[in-house]
Chain A
C-alpha cells in the first residue's frame, strides 16, 4: 500500500528553489539591458524616469542652494539678467526646463491610465506613446517660444 507523499510547498520555498538554481547556474541578474533592442514603450518609460529623477534632483538642489545662499531670488535673477545672454542660450535653457516638466506631465497621465488598468493593448500603447511625443513637442514649443 503506497502512501501518497504530500509535499508541503509554500511560496517562499518555491522562491528559494528558484534562487538557489539561479546561483548554481551563475545566471546574471534579471534586467539584462544589453540584449534588448530598444523599442518605444521602453524608451518612453526610461525617459519618464530620467526626467523625473533629473527634475527632483534639480528642485531639491536649487531649493537647498537658495536656502544656503545669503541673497534672495530677485538678486540672483538680476545677476542673470545683467549677463545679457543671447536668445539662443535663453531659448536653450527654457527648452531644458520646459521639456522634462511637459513630458513627465503628459506621459504621467499615460501611467495613471495604466494604473487604472486602461490602455495596455499593444496598438493603443504605441498610439498613446506617439501622441504624447507629438503633444510634448507642441506644448514645449509653446512654453519656450510663445509664453
Chain B
C-alpha cells in the first residue's frame, strides 16, 4: 500500500523528465512537443521519478528498432504459454537433459516476458533504466540455468532431489 501511495505521489503533477523516447520531428508540431515535454530545472531530481503521462504518439507507442510487431510478439508469448501447459505436467513423468532444457527455456522465457510486462506497467515510467537492468539480470539468470543443466544435476533432477528431503 505504501509503495502504491508513493508511486501515486510521484505521478502527480504535469511535469516530467523522462525524455526516453523523443518524438520524431514532423509528427508533432513544435508547440505541442514543447507543451508535453516542458520541465523545470529546479525540481529536476524529483521530476525524474515522475511518471511520463500521455498522450503518446503512435510512433512513441510503437517504439523503434523492434524486430517484430507487438501483435506478433503477443502471439509468440501465447504459443510459449500454451506449450507450458503441456510441458510442466510432462516434467512430473519424464526427466532428463532434454526435459531440463525444454523446461528452463520455456519457463524462463515466459518469466522474462511476464516480468518485463510488469516493469513496463508499473516502473518503467518512473525509472526507465530498470528495463535494461532486467535484461542483464535475465541473461545472467539464463546463463546460470544452462550451466546448471549442463554441468550440474539438471533442473528436473534437482527438483526431485529437493522434494525428497
Please list the residues of chain A having a beta carbon within 8 angstroms of any beta carbon in chain B.
12, 15-16, 18-19, 22-23, 26, 28-29, 33, 49, 52-53, 55-57, 59-61, 63-64, 66-67, 72-74, 77, 80-81, 90, 94, 101, 105, 108-109, 112, 115, 147
Contacts and interface: CB of A to CB of B under 8 A. Distances in A.
A63 B108 CA distance: 11
Contacts of A105: 84-85, 88
B43 interface: no
A112 B85 contact: yes
Given A29-B8, A53-B115, A67-B143, A59 B108 contact: yes
Interface residues of B, number: 44
B137 interface: yes
B154 to A, nearest CB: 9
A23 to B, nearest CB: 5
Interface stretch (B62-70, B94-102, B144-152): B144-152
A99 to B, nearest CB: 14
A87 to B, nearest CB: 11
B55 interface: yes
Given A67-B147, A90-B165, A19 B54 contact: yes
B162 interface: yes
A34 B31 CA distance: 37
B21 interface: no
Contacts of A66: 144, 148, 152
Contact of B12 (A28, A72, A115): A28
A98 to B, nearest CB: 9
A73 B149 CA distance: 11
A64 B145 CA distance: 8
B148 A52 contact: no
A47 to B, nearest CB: 14
A33 B4 contact: yes
B163 interface: yes
Contact of A73 (B14, B53, B148): B148
B32 interface: yes
Contact of A59 (B14, B56, B107, B118): B107
B138 A49 contact: no
Contacts of A67: 140, 143-144, 147-148
Contact of A64 (B12, B51, B55, B144): B144
Given A53-B118, A112-B82, A63 B145 contact: yes
Contacts of B46: none
